[in-house]
Amino acid sequence: MTMNTEFENQLKELQTKVNRLEAGTKDQLSMVVFSGDMDKILAAMIIATGAAAYDMKVKLFFTFWAISALRDPKKKVKGKNFMEKMFGMMLPKGSGKVKLSKMNMAGMGTSMIKGIMKKHKVASLEEMFKTAAEIGVEINICEMSMNLMGFKKEEMIDYPKMTVCGVGTFLSDAQESKIQLFI
């Protein structure tokens, strides 16, 4: 009987530990998307939609330059101050405007790559965001970066699971994820 109680206690202890370990390794991918380069955001979205297609939960944290790719070129927001207007003008407006990190050659390289992608039936960045929305990829946008650049959520593309939040959200998502990347 005492033997059994002893077993029971050890079993319970193990179960607690295993549950905690399982909670820490969800089939989830967390990615910081920092870069504003077309090629890097493309790589991020290929990994993200690929993972979601393999039934992983995918959470992207867009920060700094990458946020430009989420701007909707058709939307305008009023009430910005001088600095915020300047940022708005200087940064690319939407996924159609971001440039290659290499061989941009005043836009020529970027257009060339887009043409080749089309020919090879590789989805454009715009199409990637549509697919990502459909298969449930979550997009979090860094609140601090939004404030610094004077961006408002109303300027961003229509996207079902889009939230503005802090770095703490990324960190708690990442802790539970099997895969974490910074792009």
Contacting residues toward a copy of itself, per CB under 8 A: 3-4, 7-8, 10-11, 14-15, 17-18, 21-22, 24-25, 27, 29, 32, 34, 36, 39-40, 43, 46-47, 50-51, 54, 56, 63-65, 83, 90, 101-103, 112-113, 116-117, 120, 122, 144, 147-148, 166-168, 170-172, 174-175, 178-183
Question: Shortest Cβ distance from residue 168 to a copy of itself (Å)?
Answer: 6
Give Cα separations from 36 to 27, 48, 60, 73, 90 (angstroms). Answer: 27, 16, 14, 16, 13
Min separation Cβ 153 and a copy of itself, Å? 17
**Tokens representing residue 54 in the block:** 């393999």
Question: Which residues, listed in sequence order, are joined to residue 57 by a DSSP beta bridge?
Answer: 28
> What CA–CA distance (Å, rounded) separates 121 from 127?
11
Cα gap 34→60, rounded to integer Å: 10
Residue with smaller CB distance to a copy of itself, 79 or 168? 168
Cβ nearer to a copy of itself, comparing 120 with 158:
120
Cα atoms in the 13 Å half-sphere on the side-chain side of 86? 4
Query: Based on CB atoms, which residue is closest to a copy of itself, 74 or 107?
Result: 107
> What number of CA atoms fall less than 13 Å from residue 119's CA on the CB side?
6
Shortest Å distance, C-beta 75 to a copy of itself:
22
Instruction: Kindly state the smallest distance separating residue 172's Cβ from a copy of itself, in Å.
Output: 8
Tell me whether residue 73 or residue 182 sits nearer to a copy of itself (CB atom): 182
| Tokens 């703490």, residue located | 168
Number of helices and strands in the chain (H, E): 7, 5
Nearer to a copy of itself, 15 or 163 (CB): 15
**To the nearest whole angstrom, how small is the minimum distance from the Cβ of residue 173 to a copy of itself?**
10
